[in-house]
Copies of this chain bind each other. A is one copy, B any other.
Amino acid sequence: MRSAIAESRPAFVPVDPDYEARVRASFARQGAMRLLGARLLMLEPGFCAIELPYREDLTQQHGYIHAGIVSAIADSAGGYAGFSLFPADASVLTVEYKLNLIAPAAGELLIAEAQVVKPGRTLAITRGEVYGVAGDKRTLCAIMQQTLIVLSGKADA
């Protein structure tokens, strides 16, 4: 169920061995992820996947998941992909991202996957994809390109 792009991702070595606990604690503090019903599905150094079950209160006017909600899980996936590679005393903020919506965000659930393309001391660049999952069929519905900033010396919590 992993995408070709995700499978080809480079192996990153996290500078903080406890990166997973740090990411999970930060994710748990995102009120918006809780409100939407999003769940951290997979985490590896430089990679993050987030799952969002379909709900009617997440939709736009045609009954598909709203572009903003799609981008919320894509943005969080990218942010935590990057954050997993940050030092323990740094926070992450999104500088910007761009999202192309290429198919209706439909299905039983959405999965947003993001990976770091370029880590850095000040900025990190990620790419992401969002898939709609219906039964065993997975449809690419959005792609993202994102810039993160490393806030050094500002631990996340």
Do A156 and B61 touch (CB < 8 A)? yes
* Contact of A60 with B30 at beta-carbon distance under 8 Å, contacts A67-B72, A69-B68, A122-B122 already known: yes
Copies in the complex: 4
With both beta carbons as reference points, the residue of chain B lying nearest to A157 in the complex is identified as B61
Mark contacts of A60-98 with chain B using CB atoms, 8 A cut-off: 1 yes-contact digit, 0 otherwise: 111001111101111110000000000000010111111
A57 touches which of B27, B32, B103 (Cβ 8 Å): B32
Which segment of A13-21, A39-47, A141-149 sits at the interface? A141-149
Interface size class of A (residues with CB under 8 A): 35 or more
Q: Classify the secondary structure of A's interface with B.
A: mixed
**A123 to B149 alpha-carbon distance, docked (Å):** 10
Centre residue among A8, A99, A145 by max chain B CB count within 10 A: A99
Q: Is residue A134 within 8 Å, beta carbon to beta carbon, of the partner chain? A: no
Report the minimal beta-carbon distance from A137 to chain B, rounded to whole angstroms: 16
Residues of B within 8 A of A145 (CB): 96, 98, 100, 143-145
Residues of A within 8 A of B (CB): 4-5, 7-9, 26-27, 29-35, 55-62, 65-69, 71-76, 91, 93-103, 117-118, 122-123, 125, 127, 140, 143-145, 147, 149, 156-157
Q: A29-B59, A32-B58 are in contact. List 11 more A-B contacts (CB 8 A).
A: A5-B8, A30-B60, A30-B61, A31-B66, A35-B35, A68-B73, A95-B123, A96-B147, A100-B125, A102-B125, A143-B145
